[in-house]
Amino acid sequence: MKLTLLSVLFLSPLLAEEPATEKPAAAPESMITGSVDVGYRWVSGPAGSLNTYRSIVNLGSGLKLLGAEFTIVDTKKRLFDRIETRAYSWGDDPYTTMHVNARKQRIYDFNADYRNIAYFNAMPSFANPLLSRGSLLNQRSFDTQRRFSSFDLDIFPSRTIVPYFSYGRSSGFGGGVTTFVTDGNEYPVPNRIRDSMEDFRGGVRFEFRRIHFSLEQGGTRFKDDQQLYSSGITNAGNRETPFLGQTLLLTNLLQSYGIRGTSIYSKAAITANPVSWMDVSGQLLYSQPRTDVNYQQSNTGNFVDLRNLLFYTSQQYLLSATAKLPRTSGNIGVEIRPFRRVRILESWLTDRLHTASSTALPAQSARLVTNYSQQEIDVLVDMTAKLTLRGGYRYVWGDASSIVLPVAGLNGFDSGKLQRHVGIAGFSFRPGSKLSVSGEFEGASSGRSYFRTSLHDYRRMHARGQYQVLSTLLLAADFSLLANQNPAAGAQYDYLARQNSLSLHWTPKAVKFTIDGDYTRSTMRSDIFYLVPQTLTPERSFYRDNAHLATALLNIPLPPYRGMTAKLSAGGSFVVSSGSRPANYFQPLMGLSVPVAKQVMWVSQWRYYGYSESFYAYEGFRTHMLTTGLKFSR
């Protein structure tokens, strides 16, 4: 059946009748316009690692609804003015999406969004302690689906009062492999994943000429019912040698989580223009998410309790826990225009939260606190109509701490402070409509930062320019740099990342083809000092990633045949990286679109995916993908 379908799709251009050349008579606006793109995809192999292919690409063979876009217009404007619908990649594809927008002017605006995304990850080199034994079992793998849906409704009973409501749901389900960890050994076991979250919110916007404010109340409901289950299988785990003469093993396991969460939040937002030379905006929010956990575990086998040096054969574990996270955040910004050419932007924000949690076990509790604040002032001066200069200063400060009890021999308390002074400069230069250049620089000095690799003493630069060389040729360049150092003894962190991009868009009139292309050179190095855990000898960790990345697409209209113009496309992308994890990833493509009737287009595309890694050759794959189908338009 598939072959027949393929034949029909391939032969359809040849069987097509010559399209009518007469100009159609003017018709009233159609109720429904849009297109449907249906096709069949054939995927070879893939040769090499199927798991890597599924982790990175994951497209399969079969009949697909590649895309559908519709606009429905009610010319009498009864229940709606227009409905816009678009859907892509239906038919067991890993990224299925649909969006619907319906609106009636000054009555309502409704948006619905749906996505179904497959998450598969089983890289053979990742989390694989048994690799040296020839096993390609990823012990942290999963094969799940996540579904997202959201519905947003804005109602316009008047021009100044806009109530709005929103509901969203996100759910994940599927299976995977994870480890059951005990003292002295860990055992890969199947894992069942099932979680969902519902998100509700509603509010009212008041929109006046000089002020707008919104009041919003919302909340979430969360549940997570993960399970690990293994029965009747003797699982020796990852330990290769007996422990004190005994083999540690797992024979039966049931581990289940029952996690329920709720959250409620209140938000107020304002934007105002109290006088002509000043704008104000701000937001205040308070929330308190909470989770309640019931956990149970039952396992049999041969295990060891390292603290008491005790072997045992079965274990039951029941635990309940609660965690709360009160959070207050607020921000306010002011734009002042004291003169025609000067703008002063001042903003301040704070984000303060802490978690407080406890378990049913005695003295098992934890607390985490973080308070973050930031203040920034920028002055922008339009030196001329074509040149704007910007200078500013940002001060970031905060504190954070984490306490875990009981101490049990480990350090249960950690705290840090954050203090950063940032100087800001920038410019924007537009000498004419053909050329624009802008740049931004930040230089920071930190007295204190949270982590060894946090932004500390850093310079960040970003510049980009666009030049319309000819009316048909646009060149653009993009340059970014981040250099960060933490000179603290024991860290001596040195990080440098640089990206240079050049892109062009060329549409020569004489030959009517178009070329879009860009090339990026990305380099990154990171050096940091650390102690090797087993020997506590000092070492330096070096990470390097140097990559050439390019994408290109050439569109060529073919010579007209019987009044129809076909289009040939060729291009693709490649990534060639070297350094700490060298990898090559090629995705060339070629496409052909042939109109076969007035409203029917035959669309075909060939694509190749080739992935290889120098250090993990067994993770490479390559595959050819051919998609062919018909696109019906109305």
**What one-character-per-residue DSSP string does 566-605 give?**
-EEEEEEEEEEEEESS-EEEEEEEEEEEEEEETTEEEEEE
Amino acid identity at 387: L
Nearer to another protein, 462 or 567 (CB): 462
- Residue number, 95 or 467, with CB nearest to another protein: 95
Q: Which of 428, 434, 422 is nearest to 460 (CA)?
A: 422
Of residues 462 and 564, the one with the C-beta less far from another protein: 462
Q: Could you tell me if 433 and 455 are in contact, meaning their C-beta atoms sit under 8 angstroms apart? A: no
C-beta of 121 vs 627, nearer to another protein: 121
Q: What's the burial of 283, exposed, middle or buried (CB within 10 Å: 0-12/13-18/19+)?
A: middle
CA-to-CA distance for 268 and 283, rounded, in angstroms?
6
Q: Where do the DSSP E strands lie in 132-244? A: 141-155, 161-182, 185-207, 211-224, 227-235
Rounded Cα distance between 305 and 189, Å, is 21
Measured CA angle at 143 (ends 137, 149), to 5 deg: 160
- d(CA 1, CA 294) in angstroms, rounded, equals 51
Q: How far is the CB of 357 from another protein (least distance, A)?
A: 4
The least CB distance from residue 219 to another protein, in Å, is 8
Min CB(93)–another protein separation in Å: 9
Phi then psi for 7, rounded to 5 degrees? -60, -45
Report in angstroms how near the CB of residue 287 gets to another protein at its nearest.
3
Which residue, 4 or 340, is less far from another protein as judged by CB? 340
| Distance spanning both ends of the chain, measured CA to CA | 28
Q: Closest distance between another protein and the C-beta of residue 344, in Å?
A: 5
The two beta strands, 600-613 and 621-633, are antiparallel
Instruction: Determine contact, residues 357/331, Cβ cutoff 8 Å.
Output: no
Task: Please say which residue, 63 or 269, places its beta carbon nearer to another protein.
Answer: 269
Are the CB atoms for 410 and 421 separated by under 8 Å? no
User: Taking the complex as a whole, how short is the minimal distance between the CB of residue 99 and another protein, in angstroms?
Assistant: 8
| Least separation in angstroms between CB 516 and another protein | 9
Residue 509: CB minimum distance to another protein, A: 21
Least Å distance, CB 229 to another protein, is 14
Comparing CB distances to another protein, the nearer of 417 and 634 is: 417
Query: Quick check: 112 and 150 in contact, CB under 8 A?
Result: yes
- Smallest distance, Å, CB 485 to another protein? 11
Nearer to another protein by C-beta: 402 or 604?
Answer: 402
- Strand, helix or coil at 134? coil
309 vs 532, beta carbon nearer another protein: 532
Cβ nearer to another protein, comparing 63 with 345: 345
Nearer to another protein, 19 or 478 (CB): 478
| Element containing residue 71 per DSSP (H, E) | strand 62-73
Q: How far apart are CA 204 and CA 269, in angstroms?
A: 11
In whole angstroms, the minimum distance from the beta carbon of 566 to another protein comes to: 22
In the complex, minimum distance from the CB of residue 394 to another protein, in angstroms, rounded to a whole number: 11
Phi, psi angle pair for 54, to nearest 5°:
-70, -30
Alpha carbon 308 to chain centroid distance?
45
Distances (CA, A) of 195 to 229, 263, 298, 438, 598: 17, 16, 22, 45, 48
Nearer to another protein, 251 or 612 (CB): 612
Residue from 565, 559, 564, 558 nearest 18 by CA: 564
